[in-house]
Amino acid sequence: MTKKTQPTPTDVASPWDDAPETTAEEILEVANSIAGVQPKSMSNAEYDMEGLMTDFPTAKELERFVFDETGVVLNLKGRANKLKYQVAMDVLNGVDIDPKFIGDENPYIDRADMVPVEPFPAIPERDPTLPPESELQNYFFSPFVPHPDPDARALGKKCHCTFRKYNDGTISYEINGPWEQKEHGTKIDKYGRERPEIIKWIGHCSGEQTVQREDGTLTPVGRRLRTMMQAQRINAGNIWDTFVDRDFGQFNSEAIVDPWGTDLRT
């Protein structure tokens, strides 16, 4: 009979001693034995710098190729030559890149082929002589005021106009649309097709301007607007007197809670 003996303490590694460091060669040997293949290195990557520089001499061509292969939109225009090819190569080889190189426009869209759109017009400033907006008494909105643009008016179009009356009797008006885009001019593009030269915004915004001053006098525009609104009849009155130049007593929030006041004898 063979007698089994317990190993001596020197035969087992001590749990308190540091384990010897594993070398890179040992890790690779284990990986090879398990997978049977060696990991790829960058030298075996499918794309390289030389190939990209030869086949795609411009940033636009490079962006389009990367987009076709990966669906990633790059922003390489104006970048240092080696940098943009390095970024493109990294994306093609599945390497993460800095987000600043990611674009947001399809590289096949050429802005030169697009019809330019005029920027939306700036809204004029509010008349500084008007009372604060907190002193507003009432307002009236009308979508039936004749359009200030002669061409639009000739087509019977109306504008949206808001009238505001303040506690001191001041009245203002503000035109706020409507707006639409309209094609202007024609030109021939590089494909021989006729297209608009530019798309412009058609509409009008006046900013809030004075119609009637505190002393009751009217501005030149105010006189014409009042005449137009007084010509629009409603029941026994007209639009101006009924809805715009209305007279209200001073609003007293305390009257909502106590309409009688603190002293019924007064």
Q: What is the mean pLDDT of residues 201-226?
A: 88
Q: How confident is the model at residue 59 (pLDDT cuts 50, 70, 90)?
A: confident
| Those residues with Cβ within 8 angstroms of residue 190's Cβ, 6 or more apart along the chain or in another chain | 113
pLDDT at 135 over 80: yes
Residue 100 C-beta-side C-alpha neighbours within 13 Å: 3
Q: What is the mean pLDDT of residues 166-182?
A: 88
Contact 180, 200 (CB under 8 A): no
- Reported pTM: 0.50
CA distance 153 to 158: 7
76: pLDDT strictly greater than 60: yes
